[in-house]
């Protein structure tokens, strides 16, 4: 678990809020006053994949010809070196290598990347280091090498165990390759996640159940179960397939809750289910409004300082990114999160947690007193979307069902 500054009682919250208020008198207008910097994670983006999936809105690019692996790895190292002044003295608790399809990286390339990270960063001794992997790229020996290089958690994009549905989703693997990928993961990793989607084109409730039951039969430590959505600027948005109706989708969600609960998985975030002790620490840091440095094409960062919180975005196209790094200007966009945005930014993430959060965390991560969102809290509570007391704020069951509406209440 990512360490969080401990909180005790209502009096502890009041003490910190009072201290922040006194300190704010001596700060320039609009400045924040963070009582402590949050845990820090590292995100590394690998932008290439074999084929762009029709539902995918991530920054991924089909690999046409040979991927410039060495040039890109050199760019990642240079990007990290130039970013170090922003995070001096801070330990890295989790690393996530996402994409795209990072499992396209060679074993030697991954070893080089991990060596660079260890030489440049103070990695926590128990750091969670996750890599995303596509079942169509699984080679047993390569994954043994990934593990030996320091990757200790896999996130496998299964999506479905049904070959027809995989074809409809544009995936490059079939049902047999999906099963083989899980078996390779089991043989080499103690900790791994299976990504699956439901409410797929023409998917029945029985077929969705079979997917979930198959996934659970492998006893993965973690499951990520996503409702397929039509994202803008995707092929599916332009040419929408026939999807299950709302009632069938709701039945699928109820089925998932029953099956995962019976198998001992705790539902701790909108789409996340974990066996005891296996919550995704990297994602938890996002949802608890922690910090993360993002390197690689299109990567985003959120970095806190005592009196401000900074967001950055890298150049998205791989070639533009590598050229920008060589020019020393890898950051394409940079801005501070304003005080008027901070409450919404925090709640947008924290309300995804089924068990909610302790009120003191809001002040610690935003530098604001709780009364900054008091009006929205009262309105959400009055509508039955939110439960709160002096120790806890969390969405009710109704709030979980209408999460977008609940989150939007904090936008003002």
Give the pTM: 0.89
CATH number, domain 10-30+340-408: 1.10.10
Residue/partner pairs of 283-286 with CB below 8 Å, 24 or more apart: 284/1, 284/2, 285/2, 285/38, 285/39, 285/41, 285/93, 285/94, 286/41, 286/349
Q: Are strands 153-159 and 192-198 parallel, antiparallel or unpaired?
A: parallel
Q: What is the DSSP string of 302-322?
A: EEEETTEEEEEEE-SSHHHHH
Q: Work out the mean pLDDT of the chain and round it to a whole number.
A: 90
Q: What is the pLDDT of residue 30?
A: 64
Q: What is the pLDDT of residue 64?
A: 84
Find the Cα–Cα–Cα–Cα dihedral 24, 28, 30, 32, rounded to 10°.
Answer: -50
Longest dimension (CA), the chain: 64
The radius of gyration of the chain's CA atoms, rounded to the nearest angstrom, is: 22
Domain ranges of the chain: 10-30+340-408, 40-286
Q: What is the pLDDT of residue 3?
A: 32
Q: What is the pLDDT of residues 74-130, one digit of tens each?
A: 999 999 999 999 999 999 999 999 999 999 999 999 999 999 999 999 999 999 999
Peptide bond just before 41 cis, omega within 30 deg: no
CATH 3.20.20.70 fits 40-286, yes or no: yes
Q: What is the pLDDT of residue 40?
A: 98
Q: Are strands 48-49 and 61-62 parallel, antiparallel or unpaired?
A: parallel
Contact residues for 26 (Cβ-Cβ < 8 A; gap 6+): none
| pLDDT tens across the length of the chain (412 residues) | 333 322 232 222 222 233 333 333 334 446 788 989 999 999 999 999 988 787 777 888 888 889 999 999 999 999 999 999 999 999 999 999 999 999 999 999 999 999 999 999 999 999 999 999 999 888 889 999 999 999 999 999 999 999 999 888 888 888 999 999 999 999 999 999 999 999 999 999 999 999 999 999 999 999 999 999 888 888 877 788 889 999 999 999 999 999 999 999 999 999 999 999 999 999 999 999 999 999 999 999 999 999 999 999 999 999 999 999 999 999 999 999 999 999 999 999 999 999 999 999 999 999 999 999 999 999 999 999 999 998 999 999 999 999 999 999 999 6
CA separation for the pair 98, 133 (Å, rounded): 8
Instruction: Judge whether 363 and 374 are in contact, CB under 8 Å.
Output: no
Q: Is 389 helix (H, G, I), strand (E, B) or coil?
A: coil
- Cα end-to-end span (Å), the chain: 32
CA separation for the pair 44, 342 (Å, rounded): 25
Q: What is the pLDDT of residue 52?
A: 79
């Amino acid at each position: 678990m990512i360490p969080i500054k401990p909180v005790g009682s209502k009096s502890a919250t009041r003490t910190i809020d009072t201290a922040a208020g006194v300190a704010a008198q001596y700060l320039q207008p609009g400045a924040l006053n963070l009582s402590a910097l949050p845990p820090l994670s590292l995100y590394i983006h690998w932008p290439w994949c074999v084929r762009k999936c029709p539902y995918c809105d991530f920054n991924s690019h089909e690999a046409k010809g040979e991927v410039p692996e060495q040039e890109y790895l050199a760019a990642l190292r240079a990007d990290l070196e130039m970013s170090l002044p922003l995070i001096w003295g801070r330990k890295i608790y989790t690393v996530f290598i996402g994409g795209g399809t990072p499992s396209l990286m060679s074993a030697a390339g991954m070893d080089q990347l991990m060596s660079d990270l260890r030489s440049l960063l103070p990695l926590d001794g128990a750091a969670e280091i996750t890599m995303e992997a596509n079942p169509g790229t699984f080679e047993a020996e390569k994954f043994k090498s990934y593990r030996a290089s320091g990757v200790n958690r896999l996130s496998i994009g299964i999506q479905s165990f049904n070959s027809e549905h995989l074809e409809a989703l544009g995936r490059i693997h079939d049902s047999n390759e999906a099963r083989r990928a899980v078996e390779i993961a089991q043989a080499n990793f103690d900790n791994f996640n299976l990504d699956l989607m439901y409410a797929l084109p023409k998917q029945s409730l029985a077929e969705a159940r079979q997917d979930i039951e198959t996934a659970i039969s492998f006893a993965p430590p973690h499951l990520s179960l996503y409702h397929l959505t039509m994202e803008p600027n995707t092929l599916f948005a332009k040419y929408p397939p026939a999807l299950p109706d709302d009632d069938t989708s709701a039945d699928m969600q109820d089925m998932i809750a029953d099956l995962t609960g019976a198998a001992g998985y705790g539902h701790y975030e909108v789409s996340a289910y974990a066996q005891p002790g296996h919550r995704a620490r990297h994602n938890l840091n996002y949802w608890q409004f922690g910090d993360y440095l993002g390197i690689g094409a299109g990567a985003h960062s959120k970095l806190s300082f005592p009196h401000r919180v900074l967001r950055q975005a890298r150049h998205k196209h791989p070639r533009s990114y590598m050229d920008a790094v060589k020019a020393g200007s890898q950051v394409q966009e940079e801005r501070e999160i304003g005080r008027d945005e901070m409450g919404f930014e925090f709640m947008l993430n924290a309300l995804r947690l089924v068990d909610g959060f302790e009120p003191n965390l809001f002040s610690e991560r935003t530098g604001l007193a709780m009364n900054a969102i008091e009006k929205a809290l009262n309105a959400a509570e009055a509508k039955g979307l939110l439960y709160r007391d002096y120790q806890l704020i969390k969405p009710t069951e109704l709030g979980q069902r209408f999460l977008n509406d609940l989150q939007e209440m904090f936008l003002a």
